[in-house]
Amino acid sequence: MDKSFNEYLWTYSLVSFYVDNTLNEWFVASIILVYLIYPLIYVIVEKSEAVAKALLILIYAIIVLFLCHIIRIPNPIRIVFEILGTRFPAFLIGSLMAKNSEGSRGIKLSTARYIIILGVLSSILSLYVFKMKVANNWIIIRTVFIFIVFSIIICWIIVRDKAENNNIIRSCTTFFTFVGGITLEIYLVHEKVLGILTPVMYGILPLSSYSVQLVIYIIGTILSIILASYLCKFLKKIQRK
């Protein structure tokens, strides 16, 4: 039986996600994780860039090993993989970039290039996993979303660097600051953006399932950033009143 118009609006509105009893423990836990893990990462980055780079290598080595055997891994370990494969590297990379924004405490250019190369390799790997196993693995879907965000940032850096002939790190500082400033807003809206976009894109694109999902995630990421930006401005406007 088809849904009524009111049911459709309720299902695909941003409101339903927050009041329809779908905010489970993982949502609260992920926010708490930020406050528990960020101080540790801050200390690591301030102490030594070499240690930070070694940690990135270790984390992504674990990711590769897990991806090779993901179907046989029990569910609790998949959750650990999600934290290692998304949260921790994202905070670690963000901390390195934040250190650069402090001016005199800027990170080395070699470190910046290292991060970019690692991001490119991770993005290529994620595309392969997306093609081979995404249909059967929800955790991989969420991981690929984050890697696609990183890929878009990499493309932006390359274009900006060519246009202005600037240092790679100087080029991306503004973008990272902007995205970092609306991270919570992106987190709040991206699930619904993808939920609305998925049936629409499958209906209009005569492509394979892999191609359609890839398009959905790229467009969904861009739309999430735009929508989150407006949401952030709206919230700031309310705060000033």
Res 168 pLDDT > 70: no
Secondary element (H or E) of residue 32:
helix 25-47
Contact 119, 102 (CB under 8 A): no
Range among 53-57, 139-143, 168-172, 231-235 rated most confident: 231-235
E strands of the chain, at which residues? none
Which CA distances in Å does 52 have to 11, 85, 175?
Answer: 43, 15, 22
Residue with more model confidence, 238 or 126: 238
Contact 70, 140 (CB under 8 A): yes
What is the predicted pLDDT for the residue at 18? 47
Is residue 107 classed as helix, strand or coil in its secondary structure? Answer: coil
CA–CA separation, 26 vs 85, rounded Å?
16
With CA atoms as reference, report the closest residue to 126 among 81, 75, 63, 83: 63
Is residue 22 classed as helix, strand or coil in its secondary structure? Answer: coil
Contact 215, 207 (CB under 8 A): yes
Considering the chain, what is the average pLDDT of its residues? Answer: 64
Give the list of residues 6+ apart from residue 101 with CB closer than 8 angstroms, or none: 173, 176, 177
Measured torsion, CA atoms of residues 94, 95, 99, 101, in degrees rounded to the nearest 10 = 30
> Model pTM?
0.51
| Percentage of the chain modeled with pLDDT above 90 | 0
What is the predicted pLDDT for the residue at 162? 56
What is the predicted pLDDT for the residue at 123? 62
Task: Return the residue matching tokens 């897990």.
Answer: 66
Res 16 pLDDT > 70: no
With CA atoms as reference, report the closest residue to 230 among 14, 12, 3: 14
In this prediction, residue 138 has a pLDDT band, given cuts at 50, 70 and 90, of very low
In this prediction, residue 184 has a pLDDT band, given cuts at 50, 70 and 90, of confident
Res 172 pLDDT > 80: no
Residue with more model confidence, 76 or 123: 123
CA–CA separation, 211 vs 105, rounded Å?
42
What is the predicted pLDDT for the residue at 74? 52
